Amino acid sequence: MATTVRRRHRRQPEVLDGAEGNEQLTALTGAVLLIGFAVEGLTVVAVHQLLTLHFFFGMLLVGPVALKICSTVYRFARYYGGAEPYVRKGPPAPLLRLLGPFVIITSVAVLGSGVALAVVGPDQMGLWLLLHKASFVLWFGVMTIHVLAYAWRLPRILLGEPGSRARIAAPGGRFRWLLVGTSLATGLLIALLTIHLATPWVARLSGH
């Protein structure tokens, strides 16, 4: 009994803010982004008709993308810094480790160029539009591999093994939900404050 209690005490901080907690936060944010980017992708299909919605969701995703980048970079920093729980958990597979920086770079490029387009307007889109389109193509290829590699693991990471207690309800789960909720609220605030920037683009496409 004493051994079991000691094991629980050793594992609890790890679930709260160690490698397991970081993995769950990254997975939870990834699940939110998977839905968000799917909706954003649908607006691309008919972007001329859904341009305002495209702007809105693009800005909304800034918050969750920033959170996922922070959680991913934190994991790598802790692992290469020699933190014992992260070293024991190990790094991602070599291909995914190599792909990680490209996921971050292309994500920042797509969102950053999109924000720049919103700010400069259609009269000065030039290079920014080219960068936005090119980075989207690269991002789509990189993210396809990333999603195929990780999406099937999300249920296990978030819910645990069948019949077990949901891992997102474990110690630290509320804090992780708070972080994701805050990132969404931040993205929503950015979207609401910048949605007016879509007006010149809509007017240009309407021929006014």
Give, for 141, the enclosing helix (H) or strand (E): helix 126-150
Q: What share of the chain is helix, strand, coil (3-state, %, to 5)?
A: 85, 0, 15
pLDDT tens string 46-74: 888 899 999 999 999 999 999 999 999 99
pLDDT at residue 152, rounded to an integer = 81
pLDDT top residue among 91 and 162: 91
Residue pointed to by tokens 């978030």: 158
**Residue 2 pLDDT exceeds 90:** no
If DSSP codes are grouped into helix, strand and coil, which group holds residue 72?
A: helix
Angle at which helix 94-120 crosses helix 51-60, to 10 degrees, equals 130
CB of 167 closer than 8 Å to CB of 158? yes
pLDDT tens string 142-167: 999 988 888 888 777 777 655 555 55
Q: What is the pTM of this model?
A: 0.82
CA Rg value for the chain? 20
Dihedral-angle region of residue 165 (phi above 0 means left; psi in -120 to 50 means alpha; beta otherwise) = beta
pLDDT tens string 113-153: 999 999 998 888 888 999 999 999 999 999 999 888 888 88
Residue pointed to by tokens 């160029």: 113
Residues sharing a CB contact under 8 Å with residue 162, sequence separation 6 or more, in sequence order: none
